[in-house]
Structure 1
C-alpha cells in the first residue's frame, strides 16, 4: 500500500482536526495512541478511519484496526496530523459527540462543574480525577476548552470517554443543577469556610473556575456554600485540577459515611 504523504488532501483534512474549528467543521476528532484508542472503543465510540505509522505498528495496534478504512501514513504525514511532539503509531478518527445536558444522569450524587476552564491539560487532569473519584457527571460551562481537544484526551488518559459530560451556558447549567436537586458548592480563596468543614454529604455540585479569574460572581452568588482550600506557603493559588481533586475526594469521603 502506498503511504499517504503530507501533501495528500486527506492528510491536510486530518491535520485540521487538531484545531477546534476543524473539528467543528468536519464533525470529527482525533484519538492518539493505543491506550486512548482502546478506551474510546471500550466506551462504544465508532471509528471513521484509522491512521497508522506502518514501520512502527505492532500486533497490538493491528488488532484494533477494524470497523473503518485504514490509511498508512509516512513519518512526515504522521507528524503533520499528530498533536504530539513524538507522534504515536496509531491515530483513530472518530465522530464528534453532542455532549448534551439531556444525556446526563437524572439524579446524580456528585457532579463536577468546570467553569470557563481554558487549558486542555488542566481539564484533562480534572476529568481523570472526576472519573477516579466516582463523579456521576461533569459540566463544562461557558467559554471552556473543547473536551475533544487531543491534549484533553491525553491528559485524561481516556477517562473523558467514560464520564457523562455536557457543555452548557451559565444559566442553562445552573437551571439543570436546580432541577437535578443538587446543592452548589463554590470554591473560592475568599471564602471563610475551609473545605473539609463544609457539609458535602448530600447530592452536590462542585464548581471550580479558571485559576486567573476564579468563579464568576453569578456562581458565587448562587452557591449554597463557598469554601476555600488553605494555602500555607508563598503561592497564592493552586492548580485548578488539584483543587477539583481535593474537593471531589472530600465529597466522596463524606458521602461514603
Structure 2
C-alpha cells in the first residue's frame, strides 16, 4: 500500500480541491460514513485513506476494503489533520463519485421530496435522512439550497445520502417531471387550511419543503399544487423545517403502510 507523508502530495492537493466544491465527486471521513458508502448502490467509492493507527485498531475494516478491491492509501497523522474537518480525526477518509447525475436518471417515481432553497446544511442533511428513512425515492434540490454534499450535510444525513438520489434541479425540470409521472405536488405552508392528517398521501406524490424563513418560492407555487400544514398545539409559531419534514414524511409512511396489504 502506498504511503503519503506530505500534505503537498498531488493526491492530497486533489482532495483539497474536491473539498472546495463537494459536488458529484465528494470527500468524506469517519468510519460510519465510509462503511455506509461501501454498501451503497448510488455511489462508487474510488479510494480510501487510512492512518497507520487506524489500521492497527481496525484490521477487520481493512480486510473488507481489500475484499471489495478498493484502493487503500496510508497517510501520516500530519496529513490526516490537514484534510480532516474534525478536531480528533478517526483516521479513515474516502473519495466517492455519485452514479446518478440528473433527474432523467429517475423513472416511475411515486414518492419524491423537494428541498426548496434550504439554507442550513444540518437541515438539508436531516431532511435527506428522514426522506430515506420513510421511503422517498429521491430528493430534488432547487437553486438556492445549500450544498447537500457538504461535510456538515453528509454528517447530518448519517449516511442516508448514499442510499437515495439527491439531485439539483430547476423549477422547470420539476414542473415537467411532476407532469410526466402524474405526481401530486404538495407544498408545506403554515397558512394552509388542510392539515397533513387530512391529506391523501397514498397517491403518487412530490412534497415540497421550503426555505427556513421565506417558505416555498413563488416559482414553485405557480405550478398546480395542494398545500398542507402540520397541526400542533404548542405556543411556538412553527417547527424547524427539518422537524416539520420529519413529521410529515412519517405521516406519509404511516398512510402508505396502512393502505398496503
| Bin of the TM-score, shorter chain as denominator length | 0.7 to 0.9
* Aligned mates of 1:147, 1:64 — CA distance in 2: 28
Aligned CA distance change for structure 1 residues 86 and 105 (closer, same or farther; 3 Å): farther
1:188: how far off?
1.1
The 5 A counterparts of 1:71-220 are 71-106=73-108, 108-220=109-221
1:112: how far off?
0.8
Aligned residues: 252
Residue of structure 1 in register with 2:248 after alignment: 247
SS of the aligned residue for 2:145 comes to coil
8 A Cα contact 2:141 2:167, kept in partner:
yes
Q: 2:39 aligns with which of 33, 37, 42?
A: 42
* Aligned mates of 1:105, 1:111 — CA distance in 2: 11
* Aligned mates of 2:91, 2:62 — CA distance in 1: 10
* Aligned-pair Cα RMSD in Å: 2.2
1:201: how far off?
2.6
* Aligned mates of 2:202, 2:98 — CA distance in 1: 35
1:182-207, Cα deviation, whole Å (9 max, x unpaired): 11110011212222122223111110
* Aligned mates of 2:64, 2:123 — CA distance in 1: 29
Structure 1 stretch 180-189 or stretch 216-225: which is displaced more? 216-225
* Aligned mates of 2:3, 2:102 — CA distance in 1: 41
* Aligned mates of 1:168, 1:159 — CA distance in 2: 20
Q: Which runs of 4+ in 1 moved over 4 A?
A: none
